[in-house]
Amino acid sequence: MPERGRPRTFDRAAALRRAMEVFWAKGYEGASLSDLTAAMGINSPSLYAAFGSKEALFLEATELYTRVEGTEIWSALEKAPTARQAIEWFLRQTAKAYSQTGRPQGCLIALGALHQDSSCGAICDDLRRRRAENREALLRRLERGVAEGELPADFDCGTAATFYATVQHGMSIQARDGASRSALLETVAGAMAAWIAMAGTGAA
Amino acid sequence: MPERGRPRTFDRAAALRRAMEVFWAKGYEGASLSDLTAAMGINSPSLYAAFGSKEALFLEATELYTRVEGTEIWSALEKAPTARQAIEWFLRQTAKAYSQTGRPQGCLIALGALHQDSSCGAICDDLRRRRAENREALLRRLERGVAEGELPADFDCGTAATFYATVQHGMSIQARDGASRSALLETVAGAMAAWIAMAGTGAA
DNA sequence: TCCTTTCTGTATTGATCGATACATAATTCA
DNA sequence: TGAATTATGTATCGATCAATACAGAAAGGA
């Protein structure tokens, strides 16, 4: 069923990816329509026809970010054979992703919109929800470790999930400050040192 | 030597404090001149006469924040008898400060301006410098712990300072997400668990 | 009292914000 | 081929941005 009317002359998916990069680098409020249209290679009427509004474009961009940029970080959680390795791989992939050159540093979900009082309530709510989901994913993996007997029954999964999620948020700010990969890995080393004490299981 | 000309009719220090609270809640770019003048109870010409520009006002506000709001957090570093207690008090004071009601949550220095690409280069540089100073303060306290024999000679002060500074940054985002004090203290507990492994000294 | 200096309030500046009106171009359907 | 539909480019909308011009008010110095 071919579409009616004049066909679109730009690649919607490619334009969305460019928009994601602009939001990633500048945040929701810091990214102006001029920034977006310039990066996307289109005029504002095309943007509004294809995406609806700046807010809707941002929500699509974060969805793309979650689906594309976060896969290596979060798939590590599932692939790792133990909870301990899951957390360590998760943090190491974070350090790697946050220090890659040629793209914005840190995480769009963590840094995209932190000041609720502005006119971006829905944006802040969406990012907050995604951050909460990240903690939930950590929590589930830790609880699996308890269920499988890797971790003691009294292991405090909630505390550990909160802690590691918070460490990852901090790494976004660290990365924005220009931290090298080795500096980010120092944070990982510190966070994994906590594991030893929390789980009572040594060995590196 | 009395001042020439018509005297100012508002309290400059009180107005600066109001401005600090607005920047704290909304960030540098999110705080408009209208927001600022409304909170300060003055008109924009008075703001410019007294502070110079929005940028200069922000720099004064961060200086005030560092001097007033951070004292309990950073004085804990010096007062604590051991490096271990210094870090723990530092984190506990952070959890307490970041979860106080009736004021913005999280840290102005950590959250005030994270997107450099905007037109706020000097602002971002100033905040980044202050964040680096915070890590340096942690580093000095840890090195003192080594010098005093509390910590082993091969204790990696740099890694630990980076780690704890990053945890504090993460706690700002956690606080912005509405985390309760007990949730922030979970992060503190996780971070202090790392101490046991890093320093090789147990006991709570 | 008059002059100088500084602050205050009103009104406004040019620039930029997010979002659209409108005419034209390009396609499908009948 | 003509009508309907959708996209594009130009040009612009009212609102808001940070920052000021200007005239009047309130002080000290002469």
Q: Would you say residue A155 lies in a domain?
A: yes
Decide if A97 contacts A172 (C-beta within 8 A).
no
- The predicted model gives B59-64 an average pLDDT of 98
Looking at B31-45, B82-96, B110-124, which range is the least confident one?
B110-124
Packed helices A157-176 and A121-147: angle between N→C axes, nearest 10 degrees = 130
pLDDT at B119: 66
User: Residue A27 sits in a domain of what CATH number?
Assistant: 1.10.10.60
Query: Which residue does chain A place closest to B177, by CA atoms?
Result: A128
Q: What is the DSSP string of A66-120?
A: HHHTTHHHHHHHHH-SSHHHHHHHHHHHHHHHHT-TTS-SS-HHHHS---TTSS-
Answer whether A198 sits within 8 Å of B190, measured CB to CB.
yes
- CATH code, B127: 1.10.357.10
A7 is a domain residue: no
Question: Are B138 and B97 in the same domain?
Answer: yes
Is the same domain home to A42 and A109?
A: no
B28, B90: one domain: no
For residue B44, give its domain range. 12-66
pLDDT at B39: 98
B152 and B110 together in one domain? yes
Note whether A106 and A171 are same-domain residues. Answer: yes
Q: Are residues B128 and B49 in the same domain?
A: no
Each residue of A158-199: pLDDT tens digit? Answer: 999 999 999 999 999 999 999 999 999 999 999 999 999 998
Domain identity same for B145 and B169: yes
User: What is the structure's pLDDT at A120?
Assistant: 73
Give the per-residue pLDDT at A116. 82
The answer to whether residues B62 and B75 belong to one domain is: no
Instruction: Give a yes or no: residue B2 inside a domain.
Output: no
Instruction: Name which of A34, A114, A117 to mutate to probe chain B: the one with the most chain B Cβ atoms within 10 A of its Cβ.
Output: A114
C-alpha B12/C-alpha A124 separation (Å) is: 33
The answer to whether residue B132 sits within a structural domain is yes
Q: Is residue B172 part of a domain?
A: yes
A133 within a domain of the structure (yes/no): yes
Query: What CA–CA distance (Å, rounded) separates A198 from B186?
Result: 12
**Residue where a domain stops, chosen among A66, A81, A100:** A66
Write out pLDDT tens, residues B147-159. Answer: 999 999 999 999 9
- Taking an 8 Å cut-off on Cβ atoms, the answer to whether A131 and B177 are in contact is yes
Q: Taking residues A34-55, what's their average pLDDT?
A: 98
pLDDT, position A119: 66
Q: Which amino acid does the sequence have at A60?
A: E
CB atoms within 10 A of CB A150: 18
- Is the domain of B44 the same as that of B142? no
Q: What does the pLDDT average to over A110-115?
A: 96
Contact residues for A32 (Cβ-Cβ < 8 A; gap 6+): none
Domain boundary among the residues B43, B66, B89 is at B66
Please identify residues in chain B, positions 66-105, with a C-beta within 7 angstroms of any atom of strand D.
Answer: none
User: Quick one: B30 and B121 in the same domain?
Assistant: no
The confidence band for A92, taking pLDDT boundaries of 50, 70 and 90, is: very high
Are the C-beta atoms of A9 and A1 separated by less than 8 Å? no
Predicted pLDDT at A3: 81
Q: Say whether both A106 and A178 belong to one domain.
A: yes
Q: What is the pLDDT of residue B3?
A: 79
Whole-number pLDDT of residue B78: 92
pLDDT for residue B204 is more than 70: no
- Whole-angstrom distance, CA of residue B34 vs CA of residue B54: 11
Which residues, including other chains, have CB under 8 Å from residue B98's CB and lie 6 or more apart?
A: B105, B106, B107, B171, B172, B174, B175, B179, B184
Distance, CA of A45 to chain centre: 30
Tell me whether residues B190 and A189 touch, CB distance under 8 A.
no
pLDDT band (50, 70, 90) for residue A118: low
Q: In this structure, what are the phi and psi dihedrals at residue A36, rounded to the nearest 5 degrees?
A: -65, -50
Over residues B124-139, mean pLDDT: 98
How does residue B1 score in pLDDT terms, banded at 50, 70 and 90?
very low
Share of residues in chain A with pLDDT > 70 (%) = 96
**How many independent structural domains does chain A possess?**
2
Structure tokens given for A103? 């793209």
For residue B133, the surrounding DSSP H or E stretch is: helix B121-147
Report the pLDDT value the prediction gives residue A2, as an integer from 0 to 100. Answer: 62
Examine residue A188 and state whether it is found in any structural domain, yes or no.
yes
- A88 part of a folded domain: yes
Q: Is residue B116 very low, low, confident or very high in pLDDT (cuts 50, 70, 90)?
A: confident
| A76 & A172 share domain | yes
